[in-house]
Amino acid sequence: MRAFILLIRLFVLSACQPAEKPVTETEVDALYTNGTIWTGNGDSPSATFIAVKDDRIFAIGNDRPEELTSDNIVDLRGKFVMAGFMDNHVHFMEGGAALASVDLRDAATPEEFTKRMEDYAAELPEGRWVLNGNWDQTQWADENGNAELPHKDWIDPVTPDTPVYVIRLDGHMGLANSAALAIAGITKDTPVPEGGEILKDENGELTGILKGAALNLILEKIPAPDTDENMDQFKAAQDHALSLGLTKVHAVTAYPTETTMLDIFQMARDRGIMKLRAQVSTPLESWQTMAEASKNGTGDELLRWGGVKGFIDGSLGSRTAWMERPYTDDPSTSGGPMIDPTELFPLMADADAAGLELSIHAIGDQGIAKVQKYFMEIGGNNSDQHRYRIEHSQHPQDWNIGFMAKTGIIASVHPYHAIDDGRWAEDRIGAERLKTTYPFRSILDAGGIMTFGSDWPVAPLNPMDGVYAAVTRRTLDNKNPGGWIPEQKITVEEALTAYTAANAYSFKEEDISGTLEVGKRADFVILSADPRKVDPNTLRDITVLKTVIGGEVVFERAK
């Protein structure tokens, strides 16, 4: 089995077809010449020209045949070209909504937090909620790393009649003001849902902070956006993605809603708005809805569905990731499951039996181990054929890493989190457990399959931020210039592969995408610099000049 997985990984990193093909036709739709083209194909990794015809790559190589012509010839002037980026995990509609909402991510003090809230709420129509936010209390931590969680008292005076529910950037903790708590009927006597927390102060009064399953108490009361709002949010998210060189995303959502995310994507496609390829997964709890939607097919090359995404635990930042041993900075807890594992397993088994693709969020080592066990019990010896995915896979032990490589379970990871969490993760779990935290190098060296994405809007959507994080591992506080846990660094090409060919494999599309080869989709990006040749510390400065999907230019940076 291990040898088989290694062969799969080699297949992901390279391809069987030669890069060049004898040309039997002369006229193509577009011809890009004089480029520095990284094909991602290990047999023929470099090229200087690429020809597009009927949304596919017609020819690619170094010696362009003289008879190959086009009315649309683009001189690349040496610019770097590669297969389009794919993102393995985005909360697409939440990201679109966040683009139009208050931004609390870098609020550096409680006072700034309050001021941003006040300014934003003042412009909202009456009755509209303040949502998203993506705050991070570590921004205002003291020199010892201690940081007070935000409190409803910070925002109640500036939002007396405006309901507020703003989430922590990891999505597992939220702050509600008194108006929102009243709408949801949450009081200090409200029973705490299993797998959740309702925080109270020393006097037993609500602070406004909710964790885990308790978030649903608020989410259930937030009015759904109307069709126009949904389409505006979709377009905002899509425009942002295309400007960053993304050609496909795996869109997931945590919570069932009346208008599902699949409904919104189908609406965008049917209205001719959709340009970005997408694969949509809905919550595991509503697997029957997805199974019904998949009875007559799972979409086309632009929009695919048929997957479900579940949770077993929370996040390290909120101490809700399920660890085998207690947290170093709070020995009273090891985190824990967000759902009773005896309830999670039958959901996974039923969804798998219905032919749906399984992606399960697991961050702590105990959560990862439990999901691995369930995948094996469900898939047996054929588990590698299912392309099972563990979302995040942040804190495995060595044996978890080897197990995933042996069985073909895909590590669907999000490298930007490493340089964010690296500022404080040692406080949570101690130095010893950090050795296999965000273990990108270890996963590849074990022969595992690793895909990259963002977890946007929890983290920035830009793939170059992720490449930078995986290659340098320089934490955001600049306290690790040589890299945080530097032995886990990977190369630029390995990071680019994780964003392209490896994702194509996880989507079961390795035959038609992920590398630049004859017959594959003409999905590629043109970058401002060759990421393999720049100072790694400047990788985040690279911009996308042009994004091409199916041969169509869907984004071009203004000159």
Does residue 258 register a pLDDT over 70? no
- pLDDT score, position 383: 76
What are the structure tokens assigned to 141, written together?
């931590």
Quick one: average pLDDT of 170-183? 93
- pLDDT score, position 380: 85
Q: What is the pLDDT of residues 147-175, one digit of tens each?
A: 999 999 999 999 999 999 999 988 889 99
What are the structure tokens assigned to 520, written together?
């594959």
Separation CA 423–CA 469 (nearest Å): 13
Local confidence band at 226 (pLDDT 50, 70, 90 cut-offs):
confident
Quick one: average pLDDT of 232-245? 96
Local confidence band at 23 (pLDDT 50, 70, 90 cut-offs):
very low
Quick one: average pLDDT of 224-240? 90
Residue with the bigger pLDDT between 254 and 91: it is: 91
- pLDDT score, position 142: 87
3-state helix/strand/coil string of 163-200: CEEEEECCCCEEEECHHHHHHHCCCCCCCCCCCEEEEE
Residues 6+ apart with CB under 8 A from 202: none
- pLDDT score, position 351: 97
CATH class belonging to 1-84+514-559: mainly beta
- pLDDT score, position 252: 93
Q: Which fold has domain 93-219?
A: Diaminopimelate Epimerase; Chain A, domain 1 (3.10.310)
Does residue 27 register a pLDDT over 90? yes
Q: What is the pLDDT of residues 355-393, one digit of tens each?
A: 999 999 999 999 999 999 999 999 987 778 899 999 999
Does residue 11 register a pLDDT over 60? no
Report the predicted TM-score, pTM, of the whole model to 2 decimal places.
0.83
Does residue 3 register a pLDDT over 50? no
Separation CA 238–CA 230 (nearest Å): 12
**Nearest by Cα to 392 from 347, 435, 427, 437:** 437
Instruction: Give the DSSP per-residue string, 238-284.
Output: HHHHHHTTEEEEEE--SS--SS-HHHHHHHHHHTT---SEEEEEEEG
Does residue 101 register a pLDDT over 60? yes
- pLDDT score, position 94: 87
Domain layout of the chain by residue ranges: 1-84+514-559, 93-219
Domains 1-84+514-559 and 93-219 equal at CATH topology level = no
Does residue 4 register a pLDDT over 70? no
- pLDDT score, position 535: 98
- pLDDT score, position 25: 53
Residue written as tokens 């996963």?
Answer: 443
> Range with the lowest mean pLDDT among 22-36, 53-67, 467-481?
22-36
Q: What is the pLDDT of residues 384-418, one digit of tens each?
A: 889 999 999 999 999 999 999 999 999 999 999 99
Residue with the bigger pLDDT between 367 and 24: it is: 367
Residues 6+ apart with CB under 8 A from 55: 521, 522, 550, 551, 552
